[in-house]
Structure 1
Amino acid sequence: MNKAMVILSTLAVLLGGCGVNKKEANQTQAGEEQKAPNVMDAKDLPQVTAFQDEATRAFMASTEEVDPGYYLLESKSRKIRMFFPEEGKYSDLLSSYSKNEENIGYDEYDKEANILMNGQITYYQGQSFLQKTDTMMLKIISGKNKYSEEYQKENTDDTEIYLGYKKSTFDNLDRKYNYSNRYFGFVKPNQSLDEGVEYSFIFTCKDDNQSCSLDEKIARDKVKKMISSIQFSSNKEE
């Protein structure tokens, strides 16, 4: 009888120990899965510029690909999220952060196509010009870009988008590929009149000694993918 009790007690201890270890392992695994990319080891992250560049990694919300070639960026203010190209690289010189305004600048170079994209996203909040998109905000953007045409207007479930386009040729630039495709405009959330995002994307040929073809449709589709993915945290608030 005593021998049987000893065996049962031993089994209970062993099984109990296994249960604890399994629970601890699950907790550890869950903790590892919830780690932000900026605190993970670079070797454990996707082998693309967005994660291998330390400064860019700080803006990555998740290691999960949200669309082929794109990951999720979250602003420092946590007011917006959007698709970010996997080879995009954060530019500190073009970026800044304050209470009511956040600038995020980044570049992406497609070596195979020899195309350099310069992107600029500016989040505004609490500025007077945000109240009047047509009469103030778009006029400001048009002035910056010397643009006099109408903006293409589109809607997503959560946002209203204005898109302008301009092809620029630089007569004073002594190089073969002396032109660029530029896309600019404004995105505002449906649930708020107090915030919005101004954007600008410029596509150019980087290396004059390498073939290059700036396909306007491809560039436009890329820009529309990024700006259409912009989500404001205010649209998620109840």
Structure 2
Amino acid sequence: MNKALVILSTLAVLLGGCGVKKEEANQTQAGEEQKAPKDLDAKDLPQVTAFQDKATRAYMVSTEEVEPGYYLLESKSKKIRMLFPEEGKYSDLLSSYSKNEENIGFNEFDKEANILMNGQIIYHNGQSFLQETDTMLEIISGKNKYSEEYQNENTDDTEMYMGYKKSTFDNLDRKYNYSYRYFGFVKPNQSVVEGVEYSFIFTCKDDNQSCSLDEKSARDKVTKMISSIRFINR
């Protein structure tokens, strides 16, 4: 009987040890799966600009595609998240970060369509001008020399305002001498002390190549991105 008890005790220890090792292995695997893209090797990431460019992938939340051609971006301040195009590339010249403001500049070039998009997302926090939407829109209108009404749309979480201008460059001797520009403001429904100012410009990059830039497609792209903005409460 004593001998049997010894054998059973030994088996229990061995099985228990295996269980612990298995649990630890699962925890290690889960930890590896939760690594941020910036901590992974570029060869193990999606072969698109958003991940292959080191500065851009610092903003990427995960390698999981949210919608076809779009991944999830999180600001360095960890205050907002939004959809980001797979071929988007961070622009250091258009970006900055301070206590009350984070500016994320980026561009995307669609080689097949010959369309260049320049985007800018500015997160504001704690400034007095955020308390009145009309005041914020006046500031944005001044920056863009805009005097028309803004298109207003709401989601369950945000209020969105969009202005639009088509510009023609008469002094440029080129076939595609125009651009589409979209700009405006996004604010959370539950807060008056934060918001996102945005600006997107679409142009045809190469005049020697056909360009499929049209206003509706450009507008749809901007709408997709700004309507995806979510303010994070931590």
The equivalent of 2:172 in structure 1 is 173
The equivalent of 1:213 in structure 2 is 212
The equivalent of 1:118 in structure 2 is 118
Q: Residues 23-42 of structure 1: matches in 2 within 5 Å?
A: 23-42=23-42
1:72 paired to 2:66: no
Distance 2:89 2:164 in 1: 23
Structure 1 runs not aligned, ≥5 long: none
Distance 1:81 1:196 in 2: 12
The equivalent of 1:163 in structure 2 is 162
TM-score (norm 1): 0.93
Distance 2:90 2:175 in 1: 28
The equivalent of 2:152 in structure 1 is 153
Distance 2:12 2:132 in 1: 71
- Residues 5 and 126 (structure 1 numbering): CA distance in 2 closer, same or farther, change over 3 Å? closer
Count of paired positions: 234
The equivalent of 1:184 in structure 2 is 183
Distance 1:148 1:9 in 2: 83
Distance 1:24 1:132 in 2: 53
Look up the SS of the partner of 1:104 in the other structure.
strand
Look up the SS of the partner of 1:59 in the other structure.
coil
Distance 2:161 2:126 in 1: 20
TM-score (norm 2): 0.94
Percent of aligned pairs sharing the same letter: 86
Q: Deviations over 1:180-205 (max 9, x none)?
A: 11100000111111111110000011
Q: Deviations over 1:76-120 (max 9, x none)?
A: 111111111111000000000001111000001111101010000
The equivalent of 1:232 in structure 2 is 231
> Which letter does structure 2 place at the counterpart of 1:27?
Q
The equivalent of 1:15 in structure 2 is 15
CA RMSD of aligned residues (A): 1.6
The equivalent of 2:195 in structure 1 is 196
> Which letter does structure 1 place at the counterpart of 2:50?
A
Deviation for aligned residue 1:211: 0.4
Distance 2:225 2:186 in 1: 11
Which 10-residue stretch deviates more, 33-42 or 1-10? 1-10
Distance 2:138 2:68 in 1: 35
> Which letter does structure 2 place at the counterpart of 1:89?
K
Distance 2:141 2:9 in 1: 80
Distance 2:166 2:19 in 1: 65
Look up the SS of the partner of 1:212 in the other structure.
coil
The equivalent of 2:222 in structure 1 is 223
Distance 1:198 1:12 in 2: 62
Look up the SS of the partner of 1:89 in the other structure.
strand
Structure 2 runs not aligned, ≥5 long: none
Distance 2:4 2:130 in 1: 79
Deviation for aligned residue 1:20: 2.6
1:107 paired to 2:107: yes
> Which letter does structure 1 place at the counterpart of 2:160?
I
Q: Deviations over 1:149-177 (max 9, x none)?
A: 11100000011000011111111122221
> Which letter does structure 2 place at the counterpart of 1:176?
K
